[in-house]
């Protein structure tokens, strides 16, 4: 039973992480620009945030979920602005066919940026809660140990996806020259900033 809960969490983590979005675009761009490990660490930040929201859903922490729900508009404003910032920064980043040297500071920024970006999407909590309910994983069936295994599975599944993605893109890096990488940076920047603008525009329309 316990191994089954971990496996279900693993599949859930993969399913949550796999859809293409701003984090996936950032992971691809950073892998091509800075190297495979940098891209993986970027994804790992998102996996940590997924696990955090999975923790809230798995342990039935309704107080935290309600606080996040009540502040949904604020989180979306922060997320939209942050996407705009990341988009502009990505667009203007210097392209190079060589991997940039790794440093604790650059890796820390990569991890923190995707962690915060994923964390500003409280809808993830409802995704986990709905899927847990759909799988019949009630709190009485899970217990604390089972809930912990679910969260560990979510983190492992999400992390596995980012490892596969960064590894796959890393194999293609040598095929990109400086000019191609420059277009990758610009395209990724426009898409990411555009997503942020869409979020803010929708909020403005709803407010009006």
What is the CA 178 to chain-centroid distance, rounded? 27
DSSP 16-37: HH-S-SHHHHHHHHHHHHH-HH
Phi-psi region of 186 (alpha: psi -120 to 50; beta: other; left: phi over 0): alpha
Which of 73-77, 126-130, 137-141, 202-206 is predicted with the least confidence, judged by mean pLDDT?
137-141
Q: Which of 106-115, 123-132, 151-160, 170-179 has the lowest mean pLDDT?
A: 123-132
The whole-number pLDDT of residue 199 equals: 82
Residue 74 to residues 99, 163, 173: CA-CA distances in angstroms? 37, 32, 38
- 39, pLDDT greater than 70: yes
Q: Is the pLDDT of residue 100 over 70?
A: no
Q: Which of 69-73, 103-107, 149-153, 199-203 has the lowest mean pLDDT?
A: 69-73
**What pLDDT sits at residue 45?**
94
Q: Confidence band (pLDDT; 50, 70, 90) for 40?
A: very high
Q: Which value, to the nearest 10 degrees, does the dihedral of the CA atoms of residues 58, 64, 69, 75 take?
A: -110
21 pLDDT band, cuts 50/70/90, is confident
Mean pLDDT of 63-83: 76
- Enter the tokens of residue 168: 């796959």
Yes or no: say if 170 and 36 are a contact pair by the CB < 8 Å rule: yes
Tokens of 19: 């859809």
Q: What is the mean pLDDT of residues 5-34?
A: 86
Q: What average pLDDT does range 196-200 have in this prediction?
A: 87
Q: Quick one: pLDDT at residue 156?
A: 94
Instruction: Taking residues 170-187, report their average pLDDT.
Output: 81
Evaluate the CA torsion angle 65, 66, 72, 75 in order and state its sign. negative
Looking only at Cα atoms, what is the longest distance across the chain?
Answer: 57
Question: In whole numbers, what is the pLDDT of the chain averaged over residues?
Answer: 81
Instruction: Judge whether residue 13 has pLDDT over 60.
Output: yes
Please tell me the distance from the alpha carbon of residue 68 to that of residue 169, in angstroms, as a whole number: 34
**DSSP 8-state class, residue 122:** T
| CA atoms within 13 Å, Cβ hemisphere of 95 | 19
The residue behind tokens 């993830």 is 124
How many Å separate Cα 34 from the centre of its chain?
18
Domain boundaries, the chain: 2-71+96-178
Residue 140 has a pLDDT of 45
Percent of the chain at pLDDT > 90 equals 18
Round to whole Å and give the CA distance between 15 and 155: 12
Q: What is the pLDDT of residues 110-148, one digit of tens each?
A: 999 999 988 887 667 777 767 766 666 555 455 677 778
Q: How far is CA 21 from the centre of its chain?
A: 8
The answer to whether residue 98 scores a pLDDT higher than 60 is no
Asked if 18 and 159 touch (Cβ cutoff 8 Å), the reply is: no
Q: Give the global pTM.
A: 0.81
First vs last Cα of the chain: how many Å apart?
50
């Amino acid at each position: 039973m316990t191994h089954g809960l971990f496996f279900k969490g693993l599949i859930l983590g993969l399913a949550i992480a796999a859809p293409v979005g701003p984090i996936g675009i950032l992971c691809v761009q950073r892998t091509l620009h800075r190297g495979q490990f940098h891209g993986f660490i970027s994804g790992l930040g998102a996996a940590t945030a997924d696990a955090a929201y999975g923790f809230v859903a798995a342990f039935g922490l309704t107080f935290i979920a309600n606080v996040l729900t009540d502040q949904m508009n604020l989180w979306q404003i922060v997320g939209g602005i942050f996407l705009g910032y990341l988009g502009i920064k990505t667009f203007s980043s210097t392209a190079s066919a060589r991997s940039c040297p790794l440093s604790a500071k650059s890796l820390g920024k990569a991890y923190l940026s995707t962690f915060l970006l994923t964390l500003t999407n409280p809808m993830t909590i409802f995704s986990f809660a709905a899927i847990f309910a759909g799988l019949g994983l009630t709190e009485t069936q899970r217990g604390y140990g089972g809930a912990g295994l679910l969260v560990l599975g979510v983190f492992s599944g999400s992390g596995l996806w980012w490892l596969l993605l960064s590894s796959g893109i890393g194999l293609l890096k040598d095929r990109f020259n400086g000019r191609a990488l420059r277009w990758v940076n610009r395209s990724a920047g426009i898409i990411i900033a555009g997503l942020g603008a869409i979020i803010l525009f929708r909020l403005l329309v709803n407010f009006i």
